[in-house]
Amino acid sequence: MEHLPAWLINSFIYLSAAVIVVPLSRALGLGSIIGYLAAGIAIGPWGLGFVTNVQDILHFAEFGVVLMLFLVGLELEPKRLWSLRRPIFGWGSAQVVGCAAALFGVAWALGVPWPIALVGALGLALSSTAIALQVMGERNLLPTGSGQAGFSILLFQDVAAIPILALLPLLGGSLEGNQPVALVERAQEAIKIIAVIASIIVGGRLALRPLLRWIARSRTPEIFTAASLLLVVGISALMQIVGLSMALGAFLAGVLLAESEYRRELETNIEPFKGLLLGLFFIAVGMGVDLGVLRDAPLQMAVLVLGFLAVKGMVIFAIARLMKLPFQERPVFTLLLAQGGEFAFVVFQAAAGANVLPAQTASLLIGAVAVSMLVSPLLLVAIDKLLLPRYANCGVPVMEEISEQQDAPILVAGFGRYGQIVSRVLLAQGHTCTVLDHDAEMIEAARSFGYRVFYGDATRLDLLRTAGAAHAKILVVAVDDVQQSLKIVDLAREHFAHLQIVARARDVTHWNQLRDRKVMLVQREMFESSLLSARSVLELLGQEADAAQGTIQRFRQHNLELFEQLHPHYKDRAKLISVVKQGRLQLEEQMAKERGEQARRRA
C-alpha cells in the first residue's frame, strides 16, 4: 500500500470505521454520535494507530459544524431571528456568565491562580454546538421550547467565543510583564471586524441573490452545488481572517438567504456534505481523546470531568427552571449544554500559545472536554431509560379519577384525535356518552372547550364499572396504544359480554388481533382518509368524479373482502404473501378490464 496516496488510505480508514461502528452503535441503542466517537478512538493514536495527524483532520472536519450552522441559518428568517434576540442575549449571557462564574469560583477556592481559573472557566462554559444540534435534530426538539432556548444559548456561545479569544493575549501579556496591546491596534481590529460583518450583510442583500439567479440559469446542477460550497467557504474564510468564528459567519450567511427563492436548493446541495463532515468531526474528536492523560492522571481527569459537568449542570438546570421549561425537557436540555464544546479546544490551545495556560494544564483541559463529549451521549441514553420515565408525570395536573356512577348508553375509551371525532358526531346527534381518558393535559384542554371527559384508565375493571359498562350498550375503543386497546376489549368480553364493541385499529396486525377477539366493527384509522386522497389524485389526473368514486368503492370492497380471506392465515407469512399477490393481480386485471370497456363505450 506504500504507492497509494495518503488521502486515499485515510479516506478508506475513516469510511470503514464509520460504516462498521456507527450501525453497530445504533443497533445497540447508543446513537450515531457515540458510534463516530468510538470509531475515532479505535483508529486514532491511542487505538490501532491508523491515523496520527489528528489536529489536521480536526481543523478540516470543523467545516462540518460550519455547514450545519449555515443550514440552521437558512431555516431562520431575519424577522424570526430578531424575535429571538432576547433569549439569545438574555438567556445566552446568563448561561455563559453563570457557568463561568461558578466554575471560576470553585477553581479559585481550590487555589488555582486566577488567570488559569478564568481561562479554564470561560472555556469550559462553552458547549458543543455540533452534538447539541445533532441530538436536537434527531429528536425533533428544535421546534420545542427547550430546543429554541438551547439554540439561542448555543448561538450566543459562538458569539462569546470571539471576546474570549481576544482576552487571551491581554492575560498572556500581563503574566509576562509586557505592555498591553496598543489601543490603536485594537481599534483597527474592531473596525476590520465591523467592516467584514457589514460587507457580508450588504453583499448578502445586494449581490448573492442575483449571483445565484445567474448561476441557476446555466441549468448545471453541479455548478450550483459548487457555488453553494463556495459561498460558505468564502464567508468562513473572511471571518477566519479577522479572527471571528467561521460558524458564526456561515450562520449569518444562512440567515441572509433564508428568504431567498433558492433556500431549498441550497439545503439540498449542502446537506450531504454536512452529514459526512459532521461524522468526520466526531471521528476526529474521538481520535483527539488523549488517553495518555487519562492513564497518567485518571483520578484528576475523572474529578475534573465530573466536577465541571456537575457545576454547569446545576447552573443550567436553574436557568431551565427560571425559563419555565417543561419538566420532561429539562434533563436533556441540561445535559446537552453541560458538556464541553469544540470551541473550548480552540480557546485552550490559544491560551497555551499565549502562555496563559501551562502546556500540561491545557492538555488536561482539552482531554476533559473531549471526554465530556464522549460520555454525554452515554449519559443521554441513561437519562432516556432511567430519568425521563420518572419525569413523565412531573408538572402534569393531578386529577381525581372517575368516582360517580355513570349510566350513559355509550362508553368511549380515549379522547384523542380519533375518539374526539366519534364523540363529537354522537353528541351533535343528541346522544349522551361517557368519555374516559388518562391524559390529564388532554382532559384539561377538552374541558376548556366545554367537553365533559372523565379521568380514568379504561384498562382497569373497577373504573369501567364506575363508567357504566355494566349498563351501557356500546363501547367505542379509541385509545392509541395497541396493547391497551386489546386489554380493554378482553375486559369487556370477559365481564360485559352484552356490550357491542366498535374499535379503532392502528394497522393490519391490530385489525387481525381485534378480529381474533370477535370484534366485527373495526376501522383502520388511515384507511378511509387514504381512499379519499386517492380519489382526489384520480380526479386531478382527469378522471370524472363519478368514475373516480366508483374506482375507489370497488377498491374498498375488494380490500375488505381480501382482508376477510387473509384473516385465517395472517400468522402464516408464506400463505399471507401468496394470497396478497393473487388478490393484487385479480384487482389489476379487473380494473384493466373495466378501463377497456369504458374506452370501447366512449369510442
Query: With 90 as the cut, is the pLDDT of residue 166 above it?
Result: no
Rg value, the chain, Cα: 31
Q: pLDDT at position 181, please? A: 46
| For range 538-554, the mean pLDDT | 85
Assign 312 a pLDDT band (cuts: 50, 70, 90): very high
Asked if residues 305 and 122 have their Cβ atoms less than 8 Å apart, the reply is no
| For range 171-198, the mean pLDDT | 58
Asked if residues 36 and 283 have their Cβ atoms less than 8 Å apart, the reply is yes
Asked if residues 75 and 258 have their Cβ atoms less than 8 Å apart, the reply is yes
Give the mean pLDDT of the chain.
Answer: 77
Q: SS3 letters for 283-312?
A: HHHHHCCCHHHHHHCHHHHHHHHHHHHHHH
Q: pLDDT at position 411, please? A: 92
Label residues 355-386 b or e (16+ Cβ within 10 Å = b). bbbeeebbbbbbbbbbbbbbbbbebbeeeeee
Task: Pick from 189-203, 291-305, 371-385, 479-493 the range whose average pLDDT is largest.
Answer: 479-493
Does the 55-388 domain belong in CATH 1.10.1610.10? no
Q: Which residue has the cell 462564574?
A: 101
Tens of pLDDT, residue by residue over 470-528, are 889 999 999 888 888 999 999 998 899 899 999 988 888 888 888 888 888 888 888 88
Compute the distance between CA of residue 595 and CA of residue 584 in angstroms, rounded to an integer: 16
Asked if residues 138 and 336 have their Cβ atoms less than 8 Å apart, the reply is no
Assign 7 a pLDDT band (cuts: 50, 70, 90): low
Domain 55-388 identical in fold to domain 410-525:
no
What is the edge-to-edge ordering of all strands in the sheet holding 521-524? 454-455, 433-437, 410-413, 474-477, 500-505, 521-524
Rounded to whole angstroms, what are the CA distances from 63 to 123, 237, 287, 289?
A: 20, 11, 17, 20
Query: With 70 as the cut, is the pLDDT of residue 41 above it?
Result: yes
β-bridge partners, 524: 505
Tens of pLDDT, residue by residue over 353-378, are 777 788 778 878 878 888 887 788 77
pTM of the model: 0.59
Query: With 80 as the cut, is the pLDDT of residue 80 above it?
Result: no
SS3 state at 524? strand
Compute the distance between CA of residue 402 and CA of residue 389 in angstroms, rounded to an integer: 25
SS3 state at 436? strand
Q: Which residue has the cell 380515549?
A: 414
Name the residue ranges covered by the structural domains of the chain.
55-388, 410-525
CATH superfamily of the domain spanning 410-525: NAD(P)-binding Rossmann-like Domain (3.40.50.720)
